[in-house]
Structure 1
Amino acid sequence: MLINIDEIGVNSEVHWIIFMGDRVVANKQQQALLKSTWQDLPIVHHYNDQIISLGEYQGAPCLAIDVGNEQLELEEFETISLRGIYLSENFPLFQTVARAWQWILFRRTHRFCGQCGSTMQQVDWEMATQCFNCHHRCYPRVSPCIIVSIRKGDKILLAQGKAQRERKIFSTLAGFVESGESLEQAVHREVFEEVGIKIKNIEYFDSQPWPFPHSLMMGFIAEHDSGEIEVDGDEILEAHWYEADKLPLTPPTISIAGQLIKETLSRIANLPTSEFDNKT
């Protein structure tokens, strides 16, 4: 929610997440979030009525500011992308910045009322915008997605879509939940649509907010039931069953995809050899 800097104190050191376009302003020497007093950040003083409170990060208040497309003079600073923060594999940092980005994206895309066209106003007691003409209220968009790791005997299914082709990465299957379907129905549908197989023994694993752009990834682990891999050729370009010692490049474990792969491989390693019979 919005906060007045006087509530924190102009001389208190806090963490700042300043978005310039879609990049975060960082300290060149520290290679981390800015940690500074308000007094020492004159470049953003004209945004003093747009400060968003994110709670705490590493024991200190964490505040976010969006300067939009303004090009700040950054003599002592540099900018880094969300992907760059993700690849640093600093999960607490990525999680905090991801949360800030989703709130800022919400504010950028909800400036006007979708019902009457009037200017929306930020309410100061929760993360929402309010139209004081027709009383329509909006909250940050969250898009539910499923992501699933599939095992067949001692092998794991890994696939490559268009987004992974350039980075030469293979990952788990994922997709958006459609209106009116449960998470489990979405898992079955996405798997069959993308690789043409049926699965069983679906088990919930964990969830992760994902800021590209505003997804909530809900992870599952499942087993192959029937069918042979037949990729759709649209979202998925290539998919194979891989043995644990012959894996392609996969996502880091800061992502839920990487965590699902790690967990599936751990379960494969602990299976009795009888489980592999007739599963290859």
Structure 2
Amino acid sequence: MLSIPASRPNAYTGSPLDRVSNLRDDAEALAGFLRSPDALFAPVWHGRNLLRGAAENRPEAVFLSPDAAQAVRMAGGPWALLGLWDGRPVFAVDCSAAEDPLPLLPEGMGSLLDLRGLAGLLPAGEASILAHARGLMHWRTRHRFCGVCGHGCEPRSAGNAMACPNCGAQHFPRTDPAVIMLVTDGARCLLGHSARFPAATMYSTLAGFVEPGESLEEAVRREVLEESAIRVGEVRYHSSQPWPFPASIMLGFHAEALSEAITVDPNELRDARWFTRDEVRDPEAAGFSLPRVDSIARRLIEDWLENTP
């Protein structure tokens, strides 16, 4: 099986932040970061990020100054230190408690939008920071209580951990590993359509979560077999992509098919088909659409096309 390298970084990777994990429990350093007039705050509202320029297809992230951020922080939502960006402290702040946070901000600050539709157009590094903020705030807002004893937790490590004052348990942000794979037989690739897809015509790579006690290669073979009845042999790693929607990391692979007869699991997919290179190069003519450009699924498909005859 041909080893296909990643042609370029995936969306949401390449963060410019120094996460300064060694300073998260340093109260004096944290206080200094919060007092800094150069501090930047990335607001998150119900999983949406603050952006401007989206209507012109030139989106850019909007970071709040300390004064502007204080208005949304007063809503009482969680906040956390993300790291340093060229020496400037960067924080995430969740303002979901506000019915509409935009009136609390200076006029013309932008709009609260779903990052996934715009990440491929954002300047380098900004998509990574906004995704980081979204994922961490999602975890903070949904893990307020101890999973051991049920008591309310308190933030620690500059908002990057939670601690239970009752039983002493410590809780850290969770990232669920998921495998995503383009299965090929040399001349064709296997793509499936799920009822969960945003477009009725979209076909994408197969994917699934890694189960306890399972290697990544085993997860690839199991998921493909369960969803399509296709047996997989060799599995080669391609790249990874943070996917904090809400809390996953996608581990991308190319996989070699050992069989070709498809039997779809209707609980997972509506349809699965083999597609030729010509069909994938011109999906509109073939009557289907590919996954969006910010996804590792699209990168797996494009790199297969670019690296095979």
How far 1:60 sits from its partner (Å)? 4.8
Is residue 2:86 matched to residue 1:54? no
Question: Who is 1:18 aligned against?
Answer: 43
How far 1:36 sits from its partner (Å)? 4.4
Question: Who is 2:307 aligned against?
Answer: 267
Question: Who is 1:257 aligned against?
Answer: 297
Question: Who is 2:7 aligned against?
Answer: none
Question: Who is 1:210 aligned against?
Answer: 243
Distance across 2 between alignment mates of 1:141 and 1:257 = 22
* CA distance 1:45–1:106, shift in 2 (3 Å): closer
* CA distance 1:227–1:167, shift in 2 (3 Å): closer
Question: Who is 2:155 aligned against?
Answer: 122
Q: Which amino acid aligns with 2:236?
A: E
Q: Deviations over 1:34-83 (max 9, x none)?
A: 24431344523536995422224577543210112312215423211132
Question: Who is 1:188 aligned against?
Answer: 221
Question: Who is 2:108 aligned against?
Answer: 76
Using the aligned pairs only, state the percent identity. 32
Contact residue 57 and residue 96 of structure 1 kept, 8 A = no
Moved more, 244-253 or 202-211: 244-253
User: What secondary structure, in the 3-state scheme, does the structure 2 residue paired with 1:163 have?
Assistant: coil
Distance across 1 between alignment mates of 2:277 and 2:160 = 44
How far 1:5 sits from its partner (Å)? 6.1
How far 1:7 sits from its partner (Å)? 2.1
Distance across 2 between alignment mates of 1:263 and 1:171 = 14
Distance across 2 between alignment mates of 1:85 and 1:165 = 15
Structure 1 unmatched runs, 5+: 270-280
Distance across 2 between alignment mates of 1:168 and 1:69 = 37
Q: CA RMSD in A?
A: 2.7
How far 1:165 sits from its partner (Å)? 6.0
Q: Which amino acid aligns with 1:236?
A: L
Q: Which amino acid aligns with 1:11?
A: P
* CA distance 1:138–1:244, shift in 2 (3 Å): same
**Aligned length, in residue pairs:** 268
User: What secondary structure, in the 3-state scheme, does the structure 2 residue paired with 1:99 have?
Assistant: helix
Question: Who is 2:3 aligned against?
Answer: none
Contact residue 182 and residue 300 of structure 2 kept, 8 A = yes
Structure 2 unmatched runs, 5+: 1-23, 284-288
User: What secondary structure, in the 3-state scheme, does the structure 1 residue paired with 2:67 have?
Assistant: coil
Contact residue 17 and residue 100 of structure 1 kept, 8 A = yes
What TM-score do the two structures reach when normalised by structure 1?
A: 0.84
In the TM superposition, 1:160-199 aligns within 5 A as 160-164=193-197, 166-199=199-232
Q: Which has the higher contact order (CA 8 A, sep 6+)?
A: 2
Q: Deviations over 1:151-197 (max 9, x none)?
A: 11211111111122635211100001111211111111100111111
Q: Which amino acid aligns with 2:252?
A: G
Higher strand share: 1
Question: Who is 2:17 aligned against?
Answer: none
Q: Which amino acid aligns with 2:254?
A: I
Contact residue 146 and residue 218 of structure 1 kept, 8 A = yes
User: What secondary structure, in the 3-state scheme, does the structure 2 residue paired with 1:236 have?
Assistant: coil
* CA distance 1:159–1:215, shift in 2 (3 Å): same
Question: Who is 1:7 aligned against?
Answer: 33
Distance across 1 between alignment mates of 2:250 and 2:161 = 22
